[in-house]
Structure 1
Amino acid sequence: MINTQLYGLIGKPVEHSLSPAIHNALFKKHKINAVYLPFEVDDLESAVKGARALGIQGLNVTMPYKERILEFLDGISDDAKVIGSVNTIVNREGKFVGYNTDGIGALKALKRFVEIKNKRILVLGAGGAGRAIAYTLSKLTEVVVLNRTERKAKELEKFGVKGEKLSKGRLEYYSSWADIVINATPIGMNEDRSPVPGELLKKNQVAFDIVYSPLETRLLMEAREAGCLTIDGLWMLVYQGAESFRLWTGIKPDVEFMRNVALEVLKNVQ
């Protein structure tokens, strides 16, 4: 395979990721001579140097490196700079340029199912994904972020959101206040836990969990039972992945195709 372009995912852990299956299927579909590989990284600086040396054309970045990766890049998009988090790197003639597609992915996933304008949104978590989601949605409507570390929640107030320390009382209050509840934490990933007690969810709310393994987390199961509209994390994954693919190739891919690839992988691992 001459001149095969190399793309990949860096983070720790990465073995659970659906991104390799999705992007390799897209390369095949669009007849692009490229391969996407997962790289579990312990030393981020060395990994980036290695990626440069190998001429890797694009990378996705996942936990725990979305914020730290900024110091090793040659350029950062305006949105990624404001958010302080990068999940996509494009090799532009030897220069590694960082972007953030998490916010766009969450926005498009939500818009697929619900009108966002004038909706009150509660975001749980102020990590890389939570920051991107809060920043993107704050341009359209009222957003409150609750986070275990108050400082990280308060930092997001520069976006025009309200940031508060997560407490039982605030969770109860803002769960009742919100039209849309978004879990932007890892709680529920391959475990039977939810960041929001089921009794706090109410009929006609929207519950959106960015966790996609399992596809129906405990939060989404209890939300469905409460009469909420539920949106699983796979929608965000495919929409943010579609934006990454567009940045790398200039092609706007079919998200339905991407989701079906991911569902096949999930079906085979369960």
Structure 2
Amino acid sequence: MTERIDGHTILIGLMAYPIRHSMSPTMHNNAFAKLGLNYAYLAFEVTNETLPAAIQSIRTLDMRGSNISMPNKQKVIPLLDKLDPAAEMIGAVNTIVNDDGILTGYTTDGIGFMKSLDDEGINIRGHKMTLAGAGGAGTAIAVQAALDGVTEMSIFNLHDDSWDNAKRNVELLNEKTNCKATLHELEDRDDLKAEIADSFIYTDATGVGMKPLENETLVTDPSWFREDLVVFDTVYAPRNTKLMQVAEQAGVKHVFNGLGMMLEQGAAAFKLWTGEDMPVDYIRQILFDDDQQ
């Protein structure tokens, strides 16, 4: 790293809270080095309260851009100059590109989710998904999956201040895609169990399972799962989440964390910043190394 950084190095950031667990700096900095690109990627703990100043710093420091993660994916939108069509439709941003002080927001989470399943030989198109969560990641996953051909989706969310966004997601899917979407209260455990039983894939796009909730899971009973269900947890730190452990106890054959999704959404962001294709196979070897915890 020190051999690459000089007076011409261009900075790219990651703004989220919490974020010290992130694998994104490892991913992007190794990709920059592999391709000989003079960029550096750093993680910054940024909350909703400090977000406005952090976004202004992208302009002030002439950064190339930044990734945005929880809890800032929706709060960042009023602070940007433009949105790409997908980000505008989804109502969330995970990537910012700075073009001479003009900040444009993009979303690559949904692309990363679908591509990571494709990489594993899992095709969810034409099937039903039960999805927990309607935040930035959950919304991106819902929209991209519907656009790509998931035919039915049961979206579960807590009846809290994010409920309106969950309602919007369902209306958006039903109006703009061929996917039949329904909204359910996450507090209704019997309903959640029944919808999972009727689905091809269960996806958890909430923050449950990552710090400080790393010892928790929305599904605690292995009997809720069957062997041929696909279980996908968007959390990747810890590597083996509580949800994954429950699925493994049930003998589920296809259980995934969010590492593949993180890799593929990162590759899409990398392309936006640099114009170059990320060396995905090389980065996959680094990120998926069992010694890398």
Note closer, same or farther for the CA distance 1:60–1:211 as it changes in structure 2 (3 Å cut): same
- Structure 2 gaps, min length 5: 1-5, 175-180
1:223 pairs with 240, 247, 250, which one? Answer: 247
How far apart, CA to CA, are the structure 2 residues paired with 1:257 and 1:185? Answer: 29
Deviates more, 1:156-165 or 1:60-69: 156-165
2:136 pairs with 128, 132, 150, which one? Answer: 128
Please tell me whether residue 195 in structure 1 is matched to residue 203 in structure 2: no
Deviation at 1:226, TM superposition (A): 1.9
Q: Does the 8 Å contact 2:73/2:92 carry over to 1? A: yes
Deviates more, 1:188-197 or 1:130-139: 188-197
After superposition, residues 74-153 of structure 1 pair within 5 angstroms as 74-113=81-120, 114-139=122-147, 140-141=149-150, 142-149=152-159, 150-153=163-166
Corresponding residue for residue 177 of structure 2: none
Deviation at 1:21, TM superposition (A): 1.2
Which amino acid is 2:169 matched to? L
Which amino acid is 2:41 matched to? Y
Deviation at 1:75, TM superposition (A): 0.6
Q: Does the 8 Å contact 1:154/1:164 carry over to 2? A: no
Secondary structure of the residue that 1:63 maps to in structure 2?
coil
Q: Does the 8 Å contact 2:58/2:98 carry over to 1? A: no
Deviations 1:151-204 (A, max 9, x none): 332221112222222111211111111110001011111522221232201110
Deviation at 1:247, TM superposition (A): 0.8
Deviation at 1:233, TM superposition (A): 1.0
Which amino acid is 2:227 matched to? K
How far apart, CA to CA, are the structure 2 residues paired with 1:134 and 1:257? Answer: 29
1:208 pairs with 194, 212, 232, which one? Answer: 232
1:177 pairs with 177, 191, 198, which one? Answer: 198
How far apart, CA to CA, are the structure 1 residues paired with 2:281 and 2:156? Answer: 32
TM-score (normalised: structure 1): 0.94
Deviations 1:38-72 (A, max 9, x none): 11224111111122110000100011110010001
Which amino acid is 2:256 matched to? I
Count of aligned pairs: 268
2:51 pairs with 41, 44, 49, which one? Answer: 44
Please tell me whether residue 156 in structure 1 is matched to residue 169 in structure 2: yes
Same amino acid, percent of matched pairs = 36
Deviation at 1:261, TM superposition (A): 2.4
Which amino acid is 1:212 matched to? Y
- Structure 1 gaps, min length 5: none
Deviation at 1:258, TM superposition (A): 2.0
Q: Does the 8 Å contact 1:20/1:38 carry over to 2? A: yes
Which amino acid is 2:182 matched to? K
Which amino acid is 2:157 matched to? N
Deviations 1:195-231 (A, max 9, x none): 1232201110000111001212121122123232112
Q: Does the 8 Å contact 2:201/2:230 carry over to 1? A: yes
How far apart, CA to CA, are the structure 1 residues paired with 2:34 and 2:137? Answer: 29
Which amino acid is 1:152 matched to? N
Deviates more, 1:220-229 or 1:57-66: 220-229
Which amino acid is 1:209 matched to? D
Q: Does the 8 Å contact 2:58/2:65 carry over to 1? A: no
Q: Once superposed, which parts of structure 1, at least 4 consecutive aligned residues long, lie more than 6 Å away?
A: none
Deviates more, 1:197-206 or 1:155-164: 155-164
How far apart, CA to CA, are the structure 2 residues paired with 1:21 and 1:203? Answer: 34
